Amino acid sequence: MSESLTFHYDVDGEDFTSAGQASVQVKKNLRRLGIPPEIIRQVSIAMYEGEINMVIHAGGGDADVIVSEDRIEIILADHGPGIADIELAMQEGYSTAPDSVRSLGFGAGMGLPNMKRYTDEMTIDSKVGEGTTIKMTVKL
């Protein structure tokens, strides 16, 4: 594979039922490409956490997954409320999710730390009132 391959998804923020759909699809696509299972797992868990975050915190957004020869990049961009204190948001257990989200099985404040743990690089670019872009890289 000398050229890179991009998968794009619109992540719907209206409907929690569909949250995670894009990540399931990415997992299937990566399997088809013959990417090693351990890498697939890292990418798909990180993306799933990010996708769920876009739905519960930001009203949806765009997800791109770029597969190239030596890496897989995941770019999640939304126009939600943004994150005021990124350092605080990165702490395990920190969550602003309401109880309604917790009763759906999410909102334990483990998403962002988990995304960092499962990827080799992660950058968060966020502006309050404008949105958040998270870029994650897993090396092949």
Partner 1 sequence: MKISEIVNLLDAKVICGDDMLENDVFSACGSDMMSDVLAYVKDQAVLLTGLVNSQVIRTAEMMDMVCIVFVRSKQPSEEMIELARESGMAVLTTDLRLYEACGKLYVNGLIGNGRKSHE
Ligand X SMILES: Nc1ncnc2c1ncn2[C@@H]1O[C@H](COP(=O)(O)OP(=O)(O)O)[C@@H](O)[C@H]1O
- Segment lying near partner 1 (by CB under 8 A), choices 6-14, 63-71, 75-83, 103-111: 103-111
Tell me how far, at minimum, the Cβ of 7 lies from ligand X, in Å: 19
Provide φ and ψ at 59, rounded to 5°.
Answer: 70, 25
Question: Is 133 an interacting residue with respect to ligand X (CB under 6 A)?
Answer: no
Q: Which of 68, 81, 116, 125 binds ligand X (CB under 6 A)?
A: 81
Nearest-5° angle of CA 24, CA 30, CA 33? 150
What is the spatial distance between Cα 133 and Cα 40, in angstroms, rounded to a whole number? 22
Q: Which residues on adjacent β-strands are paired with residue 71?
A: 139
Exactly one of 11, 30, 52, 72 binds partner 1 (CB under 8 A); that residue is 52
Residues 35, 72 contacting (CB under 8 angstroms): yes
Question: CB of residue 129 vs partner 1: minimum separation in angstroms?
Answer: 27
**Which residues of this chain interact with Mg ion, rule CB under 5 A?**
53, 111
